Amino acid sequence: MAAFGTVFMPQMALAQYDNGAWSQTEIVSSNSLTLHPGAHVLHYSSTCFEGLKAFRHADGSVNIFRMDANIERMAQSSQLLNLPAIDKAQLKQMIIDIVARFKDGVPETPGSMYIRPTHIGTEAAIGKAAAPTESSLLYVLLSPVGDYFAGGGKALSLLLEEDGMRCAPHMGMVKSGGNYASALGPILAAKSRHDADQVLFCPNGDVQETGAANFILIDGNEIITKSLDRSFLHGITRDSILTLARDRGMTVSERSLSVDELLERAAKPGTEAALSGTAAVLTPVGTLIRGEQRFSVGSGEAGETTLALRKALNQVQWGESDDPHGWLTPVK
């Protein structure tokens, strides 16, 4: 499999918003877009996106995982960025139709078809730094993928960043490209200076998220993760993992977690940590770096509970277990 997200299906679904209304959906080439150089998105970052997956089951059927939740979050991101309101029913049909068109291209498990709906402001108006775009473009790309992290189940190392933030606090719950761009510098510095895989942003000692995934701590039968607020992304995989943990009788604590408490709990032999996300699924964390010190999380290896929860999620996605929460949408 090529590097994650670098191969695309030759066509995409596209709709345009102009004069107060959305156009009919078109299926067009995915090789290029035509934008005016003064497009709002290019100057004022009026853009948001989603990431979800379609999976091939053993019976040959293809199913999209938690599409409705992703559509709701995209509607929220568009609203918070003051982009034109999306037509949620239209976006749902766009996703289903483009996946159905390339159904034969959905890889066998553990691969999947990554689905990337994207919404951008297109109005040519460089004088609108303090005003929203009046036109926009909504499109859905497909990319067949394997594992996001090349190491698969290898436990990652995270640098604890206690000074900076991933993004502006009021923008955290928006899935916008600017938030990822602002985290890139700290991530590259952490890799260069500390050989870290990612940065765990902990402004003023408050454990939040990494540059591209939510953070989860597992201490015995308890899962601890930050309670939802505007400062970080409300991950759909995070919600799925917490739901499966509750189904297994685990205690889920959504609350503030300080760096000091994190390191204290990490020192216990059975503690585990993980990153959750559409791409990452549930990836174990084995090492935390604070300053020049490195701290193992539990054994420093992938933990049993992390692997069990990842397996439980995969089994639903892959059609190997029941879907009691109605997370799967079959593609005809």
pLDDT digits (tens, 9 = 90+) for 194-249: 999 999 999 999 999 999 999 999 999 999 999 999 999 999 999 999 999 999 99
Token pair, residue 124, equals 């040519």
What is the percent of the chain where pLDDT is above 70?
98
Is residue 182 predicted with pLDDT exceeding 80?
yes
Mean per-residue pLDDT over the chain, rounded = 96
- Predicted local distance difference test score (pLDDT) of residue 151: 53
Report the C-alpha gap between 304 and 51 in whole angstroms. 27
- Predicted local distance difference test score (pLDDT) of residue 315: 97
- Predicted local distance difference test score (pLDDT) of residue 152: 54
- Predicted local distance difference test score (pLDDT) of residue 154: 85
Report the C-alpha gap between 140 and 131 in whole angstroms. 26
- Considering only 36-45, 145-154, 165-174, 302-311, which range has the smallest mean pLDDT? 145-154
pLDDT tier, 85 (very low <50, low <70, confident <90, very high otherwise): very high
Residues whose CB falls within 8 Å of the CB of residue 153, separated by 6 or more in sequence, listed in order: 283, 284, 302, 307
Q: What is the mean pLDDT of residues 69-82?
A: 98
Q: What is the mean pLDDT of residues 69-84?
A: 98
Q: What is the mean pLDDT of residues 100-114?
A: 96
Report the C-alpha gap between 190 and 157 in whole angstroms. 10
Could you tell me if 198 and 156 are in contact, meaning their C-beta atoms sit under 8 angstroms apart? Answer: yes
Is residue 150 predicted with pLDDT exceeding 70?
no
Residue range 240-295, pLDDT digits in tens: 999 999 999 999 999 999 999 999 999 999 999 999 999 889 999 999 999 999 99
pLDDT tier, 146 (very low <50, low <70, confident <90, very high otherwise): confident
Is residue 12 predicted with pLDDT exceeding 70?
yes
- Predicted local distance difference test score (pLDDT) of residue 1: 62
The model carries a pTM of: 0.95
Is residue 50 predicted with pLDDT exceeding 80?
yes
> Which among 154, 149, 193, 194 has a CA at the least distance from the CA of 294?
194
- Predicted local distance difference test score (pLDDT) of residue 3: 83
Could you tell me if 144 and 7 are in contact, meaning their C-beta atoms sit under 8 angstroms apart? Answer: yes
- Predicted local distance difference test score (pLDDT) of residue 149: 58
